[in-house]
């Protein structure tokens, strides 16, 4: 039962975060690239203020999978690195925390792009 509740919470919270993105696309002049960028920066701010972690605790992947979660991860990483390594942590924290996702995106993209070819849209 708790599994279903967890999945439902992730679905609803993740869905709402995406729906807000759609509102921004349809009702403002923001391009998708700008929306991605704003989501990440907003995530850093919300994460830095400690608010976003509460949403992650509640919704799990529903909060961590959207790019807001990526931003909050950057903030979390910096905080941890500053606590452990001092001043150098300001610079190392962000990349360290996001290393898995970014490295995966870079390497898989290289791999897939080497294999496949772009096709005309349906």
Partner 1 sequence: MAQRKGNYTILFDDPPSVCASSAVGGKKEAEGPLGNMFDMTSDDSYFGESSWEKAESRMQKDAVNKALEKANFSNAEIECIFAGDLLNQCVGSSYGLRDLGIPLIGLYGACSTMAESLTVASVFLESGAINKAIACTSSHFCSAERQFRYPLEYGGQRTPTAQWTATAAGAAVLEKGDTPPFVRAATVGTIEDLGIKDANNMGAAMAPAAAMTLKRFFADTQTNAENFDLIITGDLGKVGTKLLRELMQQDGYHLEHAHTDCGLMLYNMEKQDVHSGGSGCGCSASVMCGHIFPLMRKGQLNDILFIATGALMSPTVVQQGESIASIAHLVYISSQKTGGRVS
Partner 2 sequence: MKMTPEEYDRLSKKASPNSPSGKNITMAFLIGGLICALGQALSLLFQNNGMDKDTAAAAVSVSLVFLSVLLTGLNVYDNIAKVAGAGTLVPITGFANSMAAPALEFKSEGYVLGLGAKMFIIAGPVIVYGISASVIYGLIIYLFKLY
Contacts with partner 1 by CB under 8 A lie at 25, 32, 118-122
Window 17-76: residues binding partner 2 (CB under 8 A): 17-27, 32-33, 35-37, 39-41, 43-45, 48, 59-62, 64-67, 69-71, 74-75
Which DSSP letter does residue 57 get? H
Judged by beta carbon distances under 5 to 8 A according to partner kind, the member of partner 2, partner 1, none in contact with residue 52 is: none
Size of the chain in residues: 122
Q: Which two tokens stand for residue 102?
A: 């970014």
Closest alpha carbon to 63 in 117, 2, 119, 16: 16
Three-state DSSP at 38 gives helix
Judged by beta carbon distances under 5 to 8 A according to partner kind, the member of partner 1, partner 2, none in contact with residue 75 is: partner 2
């Amino acid at each position: 039962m708790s599994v279903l509740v967890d999945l439902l919470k992730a679905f609803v919270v993740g869905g709402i975060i995406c729906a807000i993105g759609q509102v921004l696309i349809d009702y403002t002049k923001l391009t998708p690239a700008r929306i991605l960028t704003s989501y990440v920066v907003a995530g850093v701010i919300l994460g830095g203020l400690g608010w976003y972690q509460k949403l992650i605790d509640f919704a799990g992947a529903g909060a961590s999978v959207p790019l807001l979660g990526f931003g909050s991860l950057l903030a979390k990483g910096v905080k941890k690195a500053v606590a452990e390594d001092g001043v150098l942590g300001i610079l190392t924290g962000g990349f360290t925390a996001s290393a898995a996702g970014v490295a995966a995106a870079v390497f898989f993209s290289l791999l897939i792009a080497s294999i496949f070819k772009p096709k005309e849209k349906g």
